[in-house]
């Protein structure tokens, strides 16, 4: 099975990948209104756990200076991730990604928003240059919401996923175990919860 070729999603070159999508159909007249609800949920990164249940990872948005913020995400921001289980020891138990791109597309019949993230350093402690994530800095996660005249879609596309070896010994062991689980499909289950949860507003 090959990864989908989607405009705005980085190409798959090596390692693992996943295409995780959820769709929901609505009457055509309701689609624009429903998409506005979906957009608000999608851009409320700090609320993602609320939409997906207690077993899901917790997300927190930080600005370029490493300060927690309550607003829509911007390019250059960071997201702190608290996944179930052991976290990165150097980053006090958290994994971090940087938002490298946010794109908005719209034409006469469709609209989407894409946000691409890449494993990053811990912005709260920039003295350390280790990637504070179980995947290497080559990996990306692209989050997308989409509408057309018949349905809404929420999706997460993972590309170039491989363990992060830019870390201390204990963290390398942890990264190998979690990355292996992620590439084996555990992460896809979590991302499917997020995609389903974002669309669950009826």
Look up the pTM and report it.
0.90
| Strand 151-161 to 78-82 pairing | unpaired
pLDDT (average), residues 149-163: 95
Q: Does residue 91 have a pLDDT over 50? A: no
**Mean pLDDT computed over every residue of the chain:** 88
Cα–Cα distance between 197 and 175 in angstroms, integer?
Answer: 27
pLDDT for 188: 74
Taking the CA atoms of residue 63, residue 72, residue 190 and residue 119 in that order, the dihedral angle to the nearest 10 degrees is: -30
For the stretch 2-51, pLDDT in tens is 999 999 999 999 999 999 999 999 999 999 999 999 999 999 999 999 98
Residue 118 has pLDDT above 50, yes or no: yes
């Amino acid at each position: 099975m090959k990864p989908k070729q989607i405009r705005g999603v980085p190409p798959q070159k090596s390692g693992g990948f996943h295409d995780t999508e959820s769709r929901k159909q609505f009457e055509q007249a309701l689609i624009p209104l429903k998409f506005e609800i979906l957009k608000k949920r999608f851009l409320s990164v700090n609320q993602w756990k609320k939409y997906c249940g207690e077993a899901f990872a917790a997300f927190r948005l930080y600005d370029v200076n490493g300060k927690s913020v309550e607003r829509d995400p911007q390019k250059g921001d960071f997201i702190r991730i608290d996944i179930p289980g052991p976290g990165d020891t150097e980053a006090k138990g958290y994994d971090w990604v940087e938002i490298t791109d946010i794109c908005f597309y719209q034409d006469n019949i469709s609209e989407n928003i894409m946000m691409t993230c890449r494993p990053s350093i811990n912005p709260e402690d920039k003295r350390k240059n280790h990637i504070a994530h179980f995947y290497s800095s080559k990996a990306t996660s692209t989050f997308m919401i989409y509408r057309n005249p018949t349905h809404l879609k929420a999706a997460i596309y993972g590309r170039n996923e491989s363990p992060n070896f830019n870390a201390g010994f204990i963290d390398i062991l942890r990264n190998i175990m979690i990355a292996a689980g992620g590439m084996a499909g555990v992460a896809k289950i979590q991302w499917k919860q997020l995609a389903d949860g974002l669309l669950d507003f009826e």
